[in-house]
């Protein structure tokens, strides 16, 4: 009987130890740090390693490894967490094809040659390719890679950025320095080539980016699973990419992804472009459907939506994405289809625009691309109003005269981060009465002002020296619409 009692006492112990621990992303409430979790006996690490002024924002995100999520529910209820998330999967968005009849028709469709007459790009401008890696030894990709010459392959983190030997980029799938594609997928090579293959080099193919370069950031592991895409986006931004290509996604909304992209767009002035998905569906596909992202759908040679392209709320812009010829792997070239491909066409165009208009913000380049798009409603009578602004035209974007937004509000903040004093650039939908407010992450109001607008663009000075260090949001609204922008205050 005594032995039986001992065995019964041991059963719960074995049951507990058999549970498999998993890692969850959490965002801490302001005022807490990683030691708060460690003192509770939790295994916690920083989710997004960062340095310098951006740590104020990104140090709030942790990876917590536990076998029972009860403690996370309790910390959320107590206010210690703003939220926590279960890891979710994403898929890459293109379908390769072995049959083609015309090479690179898409460059003529978007009038890239006319744009190149005005600008052939600047090699100091970089588009980040967040994907499955790149065959950076490919003959048409090796010369346009944005090599990090400050950190050669010697086993030392020479540039002190926390990534040892990130000479070629970084692999978040395998957690090492080598973003070379795995044998299973050439997806990243295709995307890098469509966006930024070397141009006018007497071999291979051309790309909208021309002389602008690309940075490979690998997020797939050897099994093809996507890992740490948020961290990859941050990495590309910190490495200086002014455009980031995200040819992946899912129907799952993630608050952390929205937070990271909002920060990268508003604070780091980076334009994020993402594929709208290949489900032939009218629905939200993330990150394409996020406010600070250009979501891209796919068209064919005749400006018709491709059969697989999504449409509706995830689409801001359409671009060629059927039978697009470009680099593959092992010095090969193939045809590819899908919204991943059309996204790369837009990203390559966007980095060319950023190099030609270096003083324009990511928001202004976004407006160039969208406001200059060609209407394709006549070719798509079943999708009127569901294909964003229309189809990309790079030459028209290059020659476009910016105007005040007619369908949205926007807020630019300079500088960001700041010490509580900054300049607001307000792009207004219509003339009339507006309200400007400043809140912290809990929704506490710190400032409010009502004003009248007699022009579509206004500059306003904001001085709030009493704000504590942390993250805040500026809200701008009128009776019909609203917009917001995040800013960081440091001491």
Taking only the tens place, the pLDDT of each residue in 28-37 is 999 899 999 9
Give the catalytic positions in this structure: 131, 187, 340
Mean pLDDT, rounded, for 114-129: 95
Among 47-61, 217-231, 292-306, the least confident range: 47-61
Residue pointed to by tokens 């990243």:
188
Read off the pLDDT band of 50 (50, 70, 90): confident
Identify which of 432, 488, 13, 491 has the alpha carbon closest to the alpha carbon of residue 259. 488
Among 20-29, 100-109, 119-128, 266-275, the least confident range: 100-109
Read off the pLDDT band of 225 (50, 70, 90): confident
3-state DSSP call for residue 379? helix
Q: What percent of the chain has pLDDT over 70?
A: 93
Among 7-16, 95-104, 351-360, 366-375, the least confident range: 7-16
Long-range contact list for 282-285, CB < 8 A, 24+ apart? 282/310, 282/311, 282/312, 282/313, 282/386, 283/251, 283/310, 283/312, 283/313, 283/314, 284/251, 284/253, 284/313, 284/314, 285/249, 285/250, 285/251, 285/310, 285/314
Read off the pLDDT band of 155 (50, 70, 90): very high
Q: Given a cut of 90, is residue 6 above it in pLDDT?
A: no
Among 83-87, 356-360, 390-394, 469-473, the least confident range: 83-87
Q: Given a cut of 70, is residue 14 above it in pLDDT?
A: no
The pTM for the full model equals 0.82
Q: Given a cut of 80, is residue 235 above it in pLDDT?
A: yes
Look at residue 56 in the predicted model and tell me its pLDDT. Answer: 86
Read off the pLDDT band of 93 (50, 70, 90): low
Q: Given a cut of 50, is residue 240 above it in pLDDT?
A: yes
Distance (Å) of CA 197 to CA 112, 297, 341: 14, 21, 13
CA torsion 211→215→221→222, rounded to 10°?
40
The residues with which 275 forms a beta bridge, in sequence order, are: 296
Bin 470: left if φ > 0, else alpha if -120 < ψ < 50, else beta.
left
Q: Given a cut of 80, is residue 405 above it in pLDDT?
A: no
Read off the pLDDT band of 5 (50, 70, 90): very low
Look at residue 209 in the predicted model and tell me its pLDDT. Answer: 96
Read off the pLDDT band of 403 (50, 70, 90): low
The DSSP result for 328-339, as a single string, is -STT-EEEEESH
Q: Which fold has domain 91-399?
A: Rossmann fold (3.40.50)
What are the residue ranges of helices labelled H in 212-316? 229-238, 255-266
Q: Given a cut of 80, is residue 10 above it in pLDDT?
A: no
Q: Given a cut of 90, is residue 215 above it in pLDDT?
A: yes
Cis peptide preceding 328, ω within 30 of 0: no
Look at residue 147 in the predicted model and tell me its pLDDT. Answer: 98
User: What DSSP state is assigned to residue 348?
Assistant: H
pLDDT: is 393 or 403 the higher one? 393
Q: Name the CATH code of domain 410-489 (choices 3.90.1530.10, 2.60.40.1930, 3.40.50.800, 3.40.50.1820).
A: 2.60.40.1930
Instruction: List the chain domain ranges.
Output: 17-85, 91-399, 410-489
State in words which class domain 17-85 has. Answer: alpha beta
Look at residue 87 in the predicted model and tell me its pLDDT. Answer: 74
Mean pLDDT, rounded, for 451-470: 87
Neighbours of 134 (CB within 10 A): 31
Q: Given a cut of 70, is residue 99 above it in pLDDT?
A: no
CA torsion 243→476→416→49, rounded to 10°?
-60
């Amino acid at each position: 009987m005594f032995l039986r009692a001992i065995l019964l006492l041991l059963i719960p112990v074995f049951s507990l130890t058999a549970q498999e621990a998993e890692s969850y992303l959490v965002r801490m409430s302001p005022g807490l740090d990683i030691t708060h979790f460690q003192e509770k006996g939790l295994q916690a690490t920083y989710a997004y390693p960062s340095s310098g002024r951006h740590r104020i924002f990104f140090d709030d995100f942790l990876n917590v490894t536990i076998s029972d999520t009860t403690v996370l529910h309790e910390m959320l209820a107590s206010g210690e967490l703003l939220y926590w998330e279960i890891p979710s999967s994403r898929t890459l968005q293109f379908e390769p094809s072995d049959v083609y009849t015309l090479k690179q028709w898409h460059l003529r469709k978007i009038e890239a040659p006319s744009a190149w007459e005005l600008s052939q790009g600047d090699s100091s401008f970089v588009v980040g390719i967040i994907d499955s890696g790149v065959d950076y030894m490919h003959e048409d990709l090796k010369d346009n890679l944005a090599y990090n010459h400050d950190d050669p392959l010697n086993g030392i983190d020479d540039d002190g950025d926390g990534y040892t030997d990130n000479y070629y980029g970084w692999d978040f799938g395998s957690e090492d320095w080598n973003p070379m594609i795995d044998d299973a997928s050439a997806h990243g090579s295709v995307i890098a080539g469509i966006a930024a293959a070397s141009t006018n080099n007497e071999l291979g193919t051309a790309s909208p980016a021309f002389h602008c370069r690309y940075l490979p950031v690998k997020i797939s592991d050897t099994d093809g699973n996507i890992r740490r895409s948020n961290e990859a986006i941050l990495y590309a931004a910190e490495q200086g990419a002014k455009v980031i290509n995200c040819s992946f996604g899912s129907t799952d909304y993630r608050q952390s992804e929205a937070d990271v992209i909002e920060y990268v767009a508003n604070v780091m002035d980076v334009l994020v472009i993402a594929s709208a998905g290949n489900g032939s569906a009218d629905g939200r596909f993330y990150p394409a459907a996020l406010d600070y992202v250009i979501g891209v759908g796919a068209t064919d040679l005749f400006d018709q939506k491709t059969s697989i392209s999504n449409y509706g709320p995830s689409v801001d812009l359409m671009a060629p994405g059927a039978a697009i010829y470009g680099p593959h792997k092992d010095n090969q070239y193939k045809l590819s289809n899908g919204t991943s491909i059309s996204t790369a066409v837009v990203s390559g165009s966007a980095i060319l625009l950023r190099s030609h208009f270096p003083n324009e913000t990511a928001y202004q380049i976004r407006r160039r691309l969208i406001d200059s798009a060609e209407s394709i409603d006549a070719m798509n009578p079943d999708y009127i109003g569901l294909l964003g602004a229309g189809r990309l035209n790079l030459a028209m974007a290059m020659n476009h005269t910016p105007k005040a937004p007619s369908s949205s509000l926007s807020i630019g903040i300079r500088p960001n981060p700041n010490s509580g004093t900054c300049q607001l650039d307000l792009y207004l939908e219509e003339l009339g009465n507006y309200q400007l407010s400043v809140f912290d992450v809990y929704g506490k109001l710190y400032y409010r002002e009502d004003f009248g607008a007699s022009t579509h663009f206004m500059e306003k000075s904001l001085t709030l020296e009493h704000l504590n260090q942390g993250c805040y949001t500026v809200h701008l609204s009128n009776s019909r619409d609203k917009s917001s922008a995040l800013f960081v205050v440091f001491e």
